């Protein structure tokens, strides 16, 4: 008797699954919306390929301290993550700069405690890091 009930339950499940499968098909509009949502956000263009679109011009000079801060430093220095001195916190920056500006710059270049080397701004020059430190410490 239990075997018969199990078989009936199995058959009923198959019938319901088949009925649901026919209603699961997407319309063309739904398929297009789905494709739009999952499309890549960017395309890679290798130098020498004709990819169309504007050519990006690389800046010829160093970025300002504010530009470096906005691009690479805000994540930690805006809120003081893991003890990072906040932008404009004169007391916290005075403590670090008491060892000398060159020592503070060396810590920024090489990393210190939770801060990785160059704050992960691997394309930052030493001059740009200097400008960022001056900007964050209010000594610009």
Question: What's the CATH number where 69 sits?
Answer: 1.10.760.10
Q: Tell me, yes or no, whether 60 lies in a domain.
A: no
Q: Tens-of-pLDDT digits for all 140 residues of the chain?
A: 788 888 888 888 877 777 665 556 778 888 898 898 998 888 788 877 777 766 665 666 788 888 888 888 888 888 888 888 888 888 888 888 898 889 888 888 898 888 888 888 888 898 988 888 888 888 77
CA distance 52 to 43: 11
Q: Are 93 and 137 in contact (CB under 8 A)?
A: yes
Q: Tell me, yes or no, whether 86 lies in a domain.
A: yes
Task: Output the six-digit token pair for 8.
Answer: 């009936």
Predicted local distance difference test score (pLDDT) of residue 58: 63
Domains identified in the chain, total number:
1
Q: Tell me, yes or no, whether 3 lies in a domain.
A: no
Predicted local distance difference test score (pLDDT) of residue 57: 59
User: Which structural domain, as residue segments, surrounds residue 130?
Assistant: 65-137
Predicted local distance difference test score (pLDDT) of residue 24: 60
Q: Tell me, yes or no, whether 111 lies in a domain.
A: yes
Q: Tell me, yes or no, whether 129 lies in a domain.
A: yes
Q: Tell me, yes or no, whether 41 lies in a domain.
A: no
Predicted local distance difference test score (pLDDT) of residue 59: 62
Q: Enumerate helices (H) and strands (E) in the chain, giving the number of each.
A: 7, 0
Q: Tell me, yes or no, whether 12 lies in a domain.
A: no
Predicted local distance difference test score (pLDDT) of residue 55: 61
Q: Tell me, yes or no, whether 133 lies in a domain.
A: yes
């Amino acid at each position: 008797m239990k075997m018969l009930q199990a078989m009936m339950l199995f058959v009923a499940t198959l019938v319901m699954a088949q009925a649901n499968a026919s209603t699961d098909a997407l319309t063309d509009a739904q398929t297009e919306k789905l494709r739009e949502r999952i499309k890549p956000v960017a395309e890679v263009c290798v130098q020498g390929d004709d990819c169309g679109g504007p050519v990006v011009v690389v800046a010829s000079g160093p970025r300002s301290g504010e530009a470096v801060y906005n691009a690479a430093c805000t994540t930690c220095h805006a809120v003081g993550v893991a003890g990072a001195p906040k932008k404009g916190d004169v007391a916290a920056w005075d403590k670090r700069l008491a060892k000398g500006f060159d020592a503070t710059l060396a810590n920024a270049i090489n990393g210190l405690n939770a801060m990785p080397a160059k704050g992960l701004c691997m394309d930052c020059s030493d001059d740009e890091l200097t400008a960022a430190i001056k900007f964050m410490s209010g000594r610009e």
